[in-house]
Structure 1
Amino acid sequence: MQLDRTDTNPARSRAYAELLATLGVSGAAEMYEVLTERLYAAWLRPGDVAIDAGANVGRHAIGMAQAVGQGGTVHAFEPSPTVLPMLYARLQKAGVNDRVTVHELALGRAPGSARFHVLHGALGMSGLQLRELAPDLQARVNIEEVEVHVETLDSLFGHGLPARFVKLDLEGGELDAMRGGTDLLRANRPLVVFENGRGHSAKDYGYDMDDFFGFFESISYRVLDGVGFPFTAAQWSLGSVPWQFVALPDGDANMLDCATAVIAEVLAQHGLRTSDQT
């Protein structure tokens, strides 16, 4: 199945509206999880190395471990002391704990320590910065602040980790984690799937649109949004969706073909159009 996108804001707006009208916010969120799963299943090979930053309870760490097989390795990053016991238990139950290295720390732009906000009642929204919460969510969560160790991908691995796939879901901290892994990304050119709230994440983590797009330009990567459109500065403020992105090295035709085929497959599976042609 082919993805046929028209690189215009009207086409994007129609696709984003269709996404929300068809799936709603929660349905779109699950579609992005499925997209992430299908991407690493299609791209990873036995023996590969993958990174799961923001592993939570292990949905994707387990899937990546199954994709890389006994000879592969997954590096899973999770700083939350509340979530870590659940992560270890699920890895053990799935029988993949021998190939998943859990790093009990946060990833950032520079090594150090920081306050990490654990949102009891919405653990998946925990992060280094406290996001602005809707009133109904504020009423049902309890926020606990804990001190966590922060490292960078480069301080841990430099360019010596042959990562083939990187997933980042850090509640707004994704760009900082990538900035802290510049050497790794430049040296290994992995497929990167990341969540990001655009302007909201930029505000929370102290960067702007130029920083965001300048980073990808500096490492010669292109970015697609979660429904397959090229993501550029013109779309920075365009609507509230998507919040899932795929970053690929410029010039890697095989990776681009793989990613766009997977996006098309997932869109069709969820009842969404894969072409903007009428």
Structure 2
Amino acid sequence: MAEPIPVDRLNEWYDELTVEIIGRVCAPDSGCLDIGAGGGEILSHMRRAAPRGRHFAVEPLPHYAEGLRRDFPGVTVWQAAAAATEGRDSFVHVVSNPGYSGLRRRPYDRADETLVEIAVDTVRLDDVVPADARVDLVKVDVEGGEVGALRGAAELLRRESPVVVFEHGGDHAMRDYGTTSDDLWALLVDDLGYTIHTLAGWLAAEPGLDRAAFAEELRTQWYFVAARGPVSARTPEE
């Protein structure tokens, strides 16, 4: 039986698995969409795996969006938050821990986080990603706003069937968005025909989780893969 990953190494482990998934999914001309791109750490791996592809990134924090445009000149960057509707909304910038920033305040690990509320544009990805764009891989890291972001991209998901790597911290992170894990399951599995896996499970070509197994995994995991079609279809040698 494999040794459990130490808690202080979990994020690093998730990143390593995500990079491996990118390598499995992407061909040199694949297209990728990074929702909540931050400083571009995952986007850089997408570009490396698919150097001839057409890539897109969504990032609401101005300094990060400016950095993405500077560092990735071939990538289309929207300085906005992905949501179910287009418009303007307040956004909680967690200055002391930017990775926790999101459209709604959520429970934080520390009580003394420094918060600044700013106004941002919101976009429906179905409205802005060109209909002729190839999208093979989507990464979602939006701190509880997964359902809104994916509802706004539902037609893209139906059309392109990309593999979706998403962070999901469970109902406590979604509470202020008015959504639950059941809503996420209903959207991805019931409406869009995806199966949900742990990152390691998808890489090992294991079957998808059922609803009860997903709920159980949420006790210890917060990154998952949603996929349609064959599991782990590409291998590193292909």
Fold similarity call, TM over 0.5: yes
1:114 equivalent to 2:86? Answer no
> For the Cα contact (< 8 Å) 1:110–1:152, is it kept in 2?
yes
More relative contact order, 1 or 2 (CA 8 Å, 6+ apart): 1
Q: Identify which range, 149-158 or 30-39, moves more after superposition.
A: 149-158
Counterpart selection for 1:201 from 173, 181, 187: 173
Structure with bigger gyration radius: 1
> For the Cα contact (< 8 Å) 2:18–2:199, is it kept in 1?
no
CA offsets, 1:202-255, max 9 Å, x none? 323212343222112211110002342733321454363210010001xx22xx
2:6 counterpart residue number = 23
Counterpart selection for 1:177 from 129, 132, 149: 149
- Offset, 1:88: 4.2
Counterpart selection for 1:46 from 12, 28, 52: 28
Q: Structure 1 200/160 Cα, relative in aligned 2: closer, same or farther at 3 Å?
A: farther
- Offset, 1:142: 1.4
- Offset, 1:103: 1.1
From the two aligned structures, give the one with the greater helix fraction. Answer: 1
2:78 counterpart residue number = 103
1:133 counterpart residue number = 108
SS in 2 for 1:83: helix
- List gaps (5 residues or longer) in structure 2: none
**Count of residues in correspondence between the two structures:** 229
1:83 equivalent to 2:55? Answer no
> For the Cα contact (< 8 Å) 2:91–2:117, is it kept in 1?
yes
Identity %, equivalent residues:
29
- Offset, 1:37: 1.0
> For the Cα contact (< 8 Å) 1:202–1:208, is it kept in 2?
yes
One-letter amino acid matched to 2:106: R
> For the Cα contact (< 8 Å) 1:209–1:236, is it kept in 2?
no
- Offset, 1:193: 0.4
Q: TM-score, normalising length from structure 1?
A: 0.76
- Offset, 1:35: 1.1
One-letter amino acid matched to 1:221: Y
Q: Identify which range, 238-247 or 77-86, moves more after superposition.
A: 77-86
Q: Structure 1 158/74 Cα, relative in aligned 2: closer, same or farther at 3 Å?
A: closer
1:234 counterpart residue number = 212
Compute the RMSD of aligned alpha carbons: 2.2
- List gaps (5 residues or longer) in structure 1: 1-13, 92-96, 263-278
